[in-house]
Chains A and B, each alone.
Chain A
Amino acid sequence: MSDIQVDLGQVAPARTSSGARKIVIDPVTRVEGHGKVTIRLNEAGEVEQARFHIVEFRGFERFIQGRMYWEVPVIVQRLCGICPVSHHLCAAKAMDVVAGVDRITPTAEKMRRLMHYGQVLQSNALNFFHLASPDLLLGFEAPVAQRNIIGVIEAFPEVGKWAIFIRKFGQQVIAATGGRRIHPRLCIPGGVNQNLSVEARDALRGDIDQIIAWCCDALELHKGFVHAHEALHETFASFPSSYMSLVAADGSMDLYDGGLRAIDANGKPIFDAVRPADYRDYLIEEVRPWSYMKFPHIRSLGRDDGWYRVGPLAQINCCAFISTPIAEAARKDFMARGHGGLVHATLAYHWARLINMIHCAEIIKQLLFDDDLQGTDLVVTGERRPEGVAIIEAPRGTLLHHYQVDDHDQVTMANLIVSTTNNNEAMNRSVTKVAMDDLSGHDITEGLLNHIEVAIRAYDPCLSCATHALGDMPLVVTLEDAEGAVIATRVKE
């Protein structure tokens, strides 16, 4: 049975003032917790633009205000059910600054890195195996009833094992560093509150080579799909764009710390080595009336040209090299697809994500053989400052936390730019590209809805502030005429 649902029971035919046919379907009255795509046609009936509306951190920044600054790294984990660790670490880095600490101890930094790379590994594994692999391994046009993780496991039995155990390994890294798998509490301003036990280290050491091997196997499996669908891979929902990510001082990929780099579609630098504290000199956050989300863009390029993409594809396009050998070899192979330039294919997010997973696993292995993780010098203190900004590369891309703290140690201002916000304009453009390529007439076909979902899955947007009560998260696609009148709506619950 198809999982596409059209709620005909609530169809209300009507006419617009211009006489255009209007079909209104209002299957959901919830104001958040779902994705909504609106496709707008021009006077000629052609696709003019498409917008992907999602609800983000409405109210959360106010929720933080008044909190004691040292509480914030724990509180912010409630932002996201997928990436609580990313928010934990980013807030901790910002509060290091507030605590007057510019450099934490080697043990503290390596503990945080171990947790972070474990988090990115397991989150990217969830995206690839659960969300993307049905499209990529079974094909976009495979029957809906089969195009899911169970269908993948039936066709590729090993994939189920990789999915579950790479995820589980990442969770074990988080538990080993943070004291528990859920709601870890590793970080405090200025450092960490524990080192890595020898017992935990040895358990993780026993599995890491297998994890690396499975990540490599997954990459090879994915490359098989790409080679069989070269044209589709290059063109689907794709366009040239600028990119932004953290990179280390030597230009290598660094997901935990570094300077902010942005490059244009030709790979030329727009800015480089930007300190987090200076982000407002380079980025501006625009609010548009039709969306809860902000539209950040590069200040020097302006609203129309300053948008960019973040995430695994940006991380690989922006870095000069990757410090770990297997991932670096995979990066070179990947970048060869750009023939000396960048790789712009939207579906290449998945390939980049797999390289990223290999890199994470290699870094985890390096750290597990670093004795600093058993060090006991965990916290540094400093002179309190009124403000802190930090950036981290979360699984979906660049994440920024900015706080101001008063003399009573209470947060007075919080500003968060999350990965999905950074990708806001890019997601709109990908959905627009799909609509232009696939929309025929005024029908939102199952094929069109499917392709819209495939495009969105490449970015894996973070939705709805981690509230997931029963019934949430349908995807609603609406087709509008040039006057904004609704022509058709289709819902996937």
Chain B
Amino acid sequence: MSPSHIEPVTLAPSRRPDAARSPERPRVLILGYGNPGRQDDGLGPAASAQIEALGWPNVTAYDNYQLNIEDALEVADHDVVWFVDAARSGPSPFAIRALEPAASLEFTSHLVRPEAILAMAHQYYGAAPQAFLLGIRGYEFEFLEGLTPAAADNLQLAVEMLKDRLGASQPWVAS
């Protein structure tokens, strides 16, 4: 199997056609991150996968183990961005926080914060998408595959919330 397409390195985000930028159809990015091999740490990727399966044309969803600086390219290419992560503490089933760009310096490259991604997207591309952090409450983070039942329940509620919000920008979606 060969990759179908490799994008060349370009010096600007790969903007999609302007038609996709109309106010009625904001371009939405769902970026789920976490490790599915660590039980509930996989909540972010699981949410991303469920949204991706909807196939909504103005919604992009992908996942990774953690955020990385090149995510700023995708972030800069969208109007609304949802960072979706597992939460070790806090309210169930989930919590939502609006994000603002903010740079930080960590002691390990194993941590890149969503605010830093937004800051890079803003600083380098002048992009200022609406951004939210969705923390879905998880409970167990050991080396096992699969969500705990309680986390799976939280996931479904979080995904329903996302669908409601995203559906508002999907006039062709039957309610």
Query: A residues bordering B, Cβ < 8 Å?
Result: 3, 30, 35, 59-60, 62-63, 75, 78, 80-82, 84, 123, 126-127, 129-131, 134-135, 144, 147-151, 153-154, 160-161, 163-165, 167-169, 171-172, 175-176, 179-180, 182, 193-197, 199-200, 203-204, 206-207, 210-211, 453, 456-457, 460-473, 475, 492
Contact = CB atoms under 8 A, between A and B. Distances in A.
Interface centre among B68, B72, B108 (most CB of A within 10 A): B108
B6 A164 contact: no
B8 to A, nearest CB: 5
21 contacts: A59-B143, A60-B143, A131-B109, A147-B105, A148-B104, A149-B120, A160-B120, A161-B124, A176-B6, A179-B2, A182-B63, A200-B2, A200-B6, A203-B8, A207-B9, A211-B9, A453-B105, A457-B108, A468-B35, A469-B85, A469-B141
Contact of B116 (A127, A148, A196): A148
Contacts of B107: 35, 453, 456-457, 475, 492
Contacts of A75: 37
A270 to B, nearest CB: 29
Given A149-B119, A179-B2, A462-B108, 15 more contacts: A30-B88, A78-B35, A126-B109, A131-B109, A148-B103, A163-B69, A172-B6, A195-B2, A210-B9, A453-B105, A465-B143, A467-B141, A469-B88, A470-B90, A470-B133
Given A175-B3, A176-B3, A470-B135, A81 B65 contact: yes
Dominant secondary structure of chain A at its interface with chain B: helix
A199 B87 CA distance: 41
Nearest to B111: A473
Contacts of A206: 8
A473 B143 CA distance: 18
Contacts of A165: 9, 11
Interface residues on chain B, size class: 35 or more
Contacts of A59: 142-143
A457 B65 CA distance: 21
Contacts of A160: 120, 123-124
Contacts of B86: 469-470
B6 A456 contact: no
B108 A179 contact: no
Dominant secondary structure of chain B at its interface with chain A: loop
A204 B73 contact: no
B69 A161 contact: no
A467 B88 CA distance: 11
A84 B89 CA distance: 27
Contact of B37 (A82, A196, A466): A466
A350 B73 CA distance: 25
A207 B7 CA distance: 10
A440 to B, nearest CB: 22
A462 B110 contact: yes
B111 to A, nearest CB: 4
Given A465-B38, A467-B41, A469-B34, A164 B120 contact: yes
Contacts of B5: 199
Interface centre among A131, A172, A182, A194 (most CB of B within 10 A): A131
Given A210-B9, A465-B143, A164 B88 contact: no
Contact of B110 (A62, A81, A129, A195): A81
Interface string B55-94: 0000000111110111011000000000001111110000
- Return the 5 tightest CB-CB contacts between A and B, nearest first: A78-B37, A81-B65, A197-B2, A150-B103, A81-B66
Contact of B88 (A80, A463, A470): A470
Contacts of B162: none
A78 B41 CA distance: 11
Contacts, number: 189
A196 B69 CA distance: 26
A467 B6 CA distance: 29
A492 B10 CA distance: 36
A463 to B, nearest CB: 5
A457 to B, nearest CB: 6
Contacts of A148: 103-105, 116
B36 interface: yes
B103 A461 contact: no
A197 B3 contact: yes
A94 B73 CA distance: 36
A473 B110 contact: yes
Contacts of B141: 467, 469
Contacts of B88: 30, 469-472
Contact of A456 (B63, B70, B108, B123): B108
Contacts of B37: 63, 75, 78, 466
B18 interface: no
Given A3-B105, A149-B120, A203-B7, A468 B70 contact: no
B2 A127 contact: no
A404 B158 CA distance: 42
Contacts of A473: 106, 108, 110-111
Contacts of A129: 69
A199 B103 contact: no
A59 B64 CA distance: 22
Contacts of A456: 107-108
A171 B110 contact: no
Nearest to B122: A150
B122 to A, nearest CB: 9
B138 interface: yes
B58 to A, nearest CB: 22
Contact of B69 (A81, A149, A460): A149
Contact of B2 (A130, A151, A199): A199
